Structure 1
Amino acid sequence: MGTGTPGDADLAATYFLDHDSPEVADFVARSAPADADPTTRAVALYYAVRDGIQYEVYSADLSRAGLRASSTLRSGTGMCIHKSILYASALRSIGIPSRLVLADVRNHLTSDRLRSLMGGDVFRHHCYTKVHLDGRWVKATPVFSRRLCRLYRITQLEFDGRTDSLYHPYDLDGRQHMEFLHTHGEFSDLPYDRIVRDLRIAHPGLFAATMRVVDGSLERDAVGAAERR
């Protein structure tokens, strides 16, 4: 799908982007001022997802049910796919078109343990969101919380609804942090079967047969690394 005029599919409720659910409706009502303009509401929802939902790769539920926006709100945690689905769903609930973007990236907030489980520092199917505001598409990544950015010493990503919010290439110490290697495309709904197939092939040591990531904690990894330095 291109980046042109949004269609009905970019506003639709789906199994994964279930913005017609009570959980998403309540989240939006609590997070975005009803009397504000669309850009202000989109920005408010960005920060509500970024800092209100814990970013965690370990133990993430990548089953069909676990990836629904309503499920992420109930659990309060998720990785990039979960949080981007939630943000896209919340946007659609207030009439703002949204899409999911999947890309392969190098150095996806990796600790030594996570790099070992992933089989390297390239992560398949990193996910972010595209938002249609004021007649144009803007990229938004409401993924790494303020706390995790502080622990891993990377610049937190801000979003103003007008300029793209993507990962900075360097961390606060000048080390290369993230490199986008390949974009798989933009999607009005989550291509679940493709994601499951590709993740199992690319990262067999990271995922259990049930598509739940192995146990652990990114915060514990960061604290442990700091203590060893």
Structure 2
Amino acid sequence: MIGTNELAPHGLVDVFYNGKWVKCSPAFNKELCAIYNVDVLDFNGTEDAVLQEYNKDDHKFMTYIEDYGHFEDLPLEFIKDTFKSNYPSLYERFEGQDHITV
């Protein structure tokens, strides 16, 4: 649908826990992890918990290409601009709609 296997932007959550900032990815639940054959992420509060690069069969699953930094609040305009620059034809297709039904 987006014409590429790259997803931009993808969000992570920064959590201030036990006196330090750690990253965690809330994107996959148990069911999605099973579908994609990856381990469920464990969050222990001391280490980053981000999506794994390799699945359980040791095949490359994904790679983080770019870190967009940290934001105090949801950066809606940044998300729209990033989406528009990465997927111009898809953006034009849905521009002006208040929601997308796939």
| Aligned-pair CA distance for 1:153 | 1.2
**Corresponding residue for 1:175?**
59
> Which 4+ runs in 1 deviate beyond 6 A?
none
**Corresponding residue for 2:15?**
131
User: Are 1:169 and 1:178, in contact at CA under 8 Å, matched by a contact in 2?
Assistant: yes
What is the identity percentage for the equivalent residue pairs of Structure 1 and Structure 2?
A: 25
2:94 maps to a residue whose letter is: A
Secondary structure of 1:125 counterpart: coil
Residues 1:205 and 2:90 are matched in the alignment: yes
After superposition, give the CA deviation of every residue in 1:166-223 in whole Å (9 maximum; x if it has no partner): 11110122210111111111001111112112212312337622263451xxxxxxxx
Q: Judging changes above 3 Å, is the alpha-carbon distance between structure 1 residues 181 and 211 closer, same or farther for their aligned structure 2 residues?
A: farther
Could you state the TM-score of these two structures normalised by the residue count of structure 2? 0.84
Q: 1:148 aligns with which of 32, 48, 51?
A: 32
User: Are 1:157 and 1:167, in contact at CA under 8 Å, matched by a contact in 2?
Assistant: yes
Larger Rg: 1
Matches within 5 A, 1:92-131: 117-131=1-15
1:167 maps to a residue whose letter is: L
In 2, Cα distance between equivalents of 1:118 and 1:154: 23
Structure 2 portions without partners, runs of 5+: none
Structure with bigger strand share is: 1
User: Are 1:141 and 1:166, in contact at CA under 8 Å, matched by a contact in 2?
Assistant: yes
Q: 1:158 aligns with which of 14, 35, 42?
A: 42
After superposition, give the CA deviation of every residue in 1:1-35 in whole Å (9 maximum; x if it has no partner): xxxxxxxxxxxxxxxxxxxxxxxxxxxxxxxxxxx
Q: Judging changes above 3 Å, is the alpha-carbon distance between structure 1 residues 164 and 122 closer, same or farther for their aligned structure 2 residues?
A: same
In 1, Cα distance between equivalents of 2:64 and 2:23: 14
2:54 maps to a residue whose letter is: Y
In 1, Cα distance between equivalents of 2:18 and 2:58: 35
Could you state the TM-score of these two structures normalised by the residue count of structure 1? 0.40
User: Are 1:149 and 1:155, in contact at CA under 8 Å, matched by a contact in 2?
Assistant: yes
Structure 1 portions without partners, runs of 5+: 1-116, 216-229
User: Are 1:157 and 1:165, in contact at CA under 8 Å, matched by a contact in 2?
Assistant: yes
Number of residues of Structure 1 aligned to a counterpart in Structure 2: 99
User: Are 1:140 and 1:164, in contact at CA under 8 Å, matched by a contact in 2?
Assistant: yes
